[in-house]
């Protein structure tokens, strides 16, 4: 059995061994030309690069833990075949699961990420990655960059800053608020890494820089992909600097240029898709945002509180040897 791509730690499905950004890989082809439309003159030539994403190309990593796959309703036929063959396994090959259409549409985010960055092994991208549409994921991963020496040096340096400051020994031992503030060095370095790359996107057909709606949002999509599985899913959107509705100008621009991304991200975050996918990533299927017994979904509880003027409360009961019991309720407003 190949070395598992995924493992369970603290009840959650894990994927990344270490914190790292994608690597620049120089393409094995001649330097590309930049041709001015008006004259047809070649004004310069630059080497072309692509990104190799963490987890890409390791063809031996293919296994998802049995405890996770057992919760996927789509895997019933696959497991029926296993029972027939009397073939119990601790992990299940994604290749086999794909053959049996056993992977849920609401795919755990790191599973969708792994399938995407290894499309040469698994075939065309067909799953959204935590709300980023499959077509946009393909667009993000397929980008190429024409980098001169200055851009190349700056991008490599930003990668080093992001990776080394994440767990820098000088930044350890502080309380949560200080540590989170220090992590902003990494967050901003990650953003600038992708921003600089986005400024160097190359259009092979036009033999010029790639400009337009797709290139405008490439850095946001790439940063979103990077943060998948590396921090809380509620932070992907803000760390990738996708606009909020409060930023009226940028949000309206996004509605025109990337409506599919906004729709998909909204669907994942507000209609239960995200919670379902996260539940599919947990050993016992429990999602922290959902009460185990009774009570409201956390999002519903907050919504009811806003509608009625009441208060949303979360209660957590700890018992030794058991998972915490989380209950979300809405208390009515106190009479004036």
pTM: 0.80
Q: Using the 8-state DSSP alphabet, how is residue 217 labeled?
A: T
Which of 207, 123, 183, 196 shows the shortest CA–CA distance to 157?
Answer: 196
DSSP-assigned states of every residue in 135-177: HHHHHHHT--EE--HHHHHHHHHHHHHHHHHHT-GGG-SS-HH
Output the CA–CA distances (angstroms, integers) from residue 188 to 4, 173, 220, 240, 324, in the order listed. Answer: 32, 22, 12, 10, 35
pLDDT for the residue numbered 300: 53
Q: Which residues of the chain are modeled with pLDDT < 70?
A: 1-3, 84-87, 269-276, 278, 284-336
pLDDT for the residue numbered 316: 60
Where are the chain's structural domains?
7-276, 289-331
What are φ and ψ of residue 137, in 5° steps? -60, -45
Asked whether 189 and 156 are in contact (CB, 8 A), the reply is no
pLDDT for the residue numbered 294: 44
Region of 101 on the Ramachandran plot (φ > 0 left; ψ -120 to 50 alpha; else beta): left
The string of pLDDT tens digits covering residues 303-328 is 555 556 666 566 666 565 555 555 65
The string of pLDDT tens digits covering residues 98-109 is 999 999 988 889
pLDDT for the residue numbered 173: 76
Other Cβ atoms less than 10 A from the Cβ of 100: the count is: 17
The string of pLDDT tens digits covering residues 244-275 is 888 888 989 998 989 988 888 877 765 555 66
Asked whether 55 and 15 are in contact (CB, 8 A), the reply is yes
Mean per-residue pLDDT of the chain: 82
């Amino acid at each position: 059995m190949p070395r598992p791509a995924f493992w369970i730690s603290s009840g959650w499905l894990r994927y990344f061994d270490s914190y790292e950004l994608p690597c620049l890989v120089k393409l094995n082809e001649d330097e590309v030309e930049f041709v001015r439309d008006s004259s047809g003159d070649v004004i310069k030539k630059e080497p072309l690069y692509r990104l190799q994403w963490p987890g890409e190309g390791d063809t031996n990593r293919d296994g998802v833990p049995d405890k996770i796959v057992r919760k996927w309703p789509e895997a019933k036929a696959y497991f029926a075949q296993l029972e027939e063959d009397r073939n119990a396994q601790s992990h299940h090959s994604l290749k086999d699961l794909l053959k049996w259409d056993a992977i849920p549409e609401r795919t755990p985010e790191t599973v969708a990420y792994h399938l995407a960055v290894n499309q040469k092994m698994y075939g065309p991208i067909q799953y959204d990655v935590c709300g980023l549409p499959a077509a946009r994921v393909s667009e993000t991963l397929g980008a190429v960059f024409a980098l001169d020496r200055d851009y190349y040096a700056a991008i490599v340096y930003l990668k080093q800053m992001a990776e080394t400051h994440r767990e820098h020994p000088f930044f350890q031992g502080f309380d949560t608020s200080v540590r989170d503030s220090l992590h902003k060095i990494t967050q901003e370095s990650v953003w600038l890494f992708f921003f600089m790359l986005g400024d160097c996107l190359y259009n092979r057909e036009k033999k010029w820089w790639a400009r337009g709606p797709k290139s405008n949002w490439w850095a946001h999509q790439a940063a979103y992909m990077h943060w998948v599985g590396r921090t809380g899913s509620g932070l992907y959107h803000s760390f990738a600097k996708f606009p909020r509705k409060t930023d009226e100008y940028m949000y309206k621009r996004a509605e025109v240029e990337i409506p599919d991304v906004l729709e998909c991200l909204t669907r994942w975050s507000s209609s239960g898709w995200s919670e379902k996918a996260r539940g599919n990533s947990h050993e016992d299927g429990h999602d922290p945002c959902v009460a185990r017994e009774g009570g409201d979904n956390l999002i519903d509880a907050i919504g009811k509180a806003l509608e009625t003027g009441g208060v949303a409360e979360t209660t957590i009961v700890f018992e030794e040897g058991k998972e915490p019991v989380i209950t979300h309720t809405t208390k009515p407003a106190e009479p004036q």
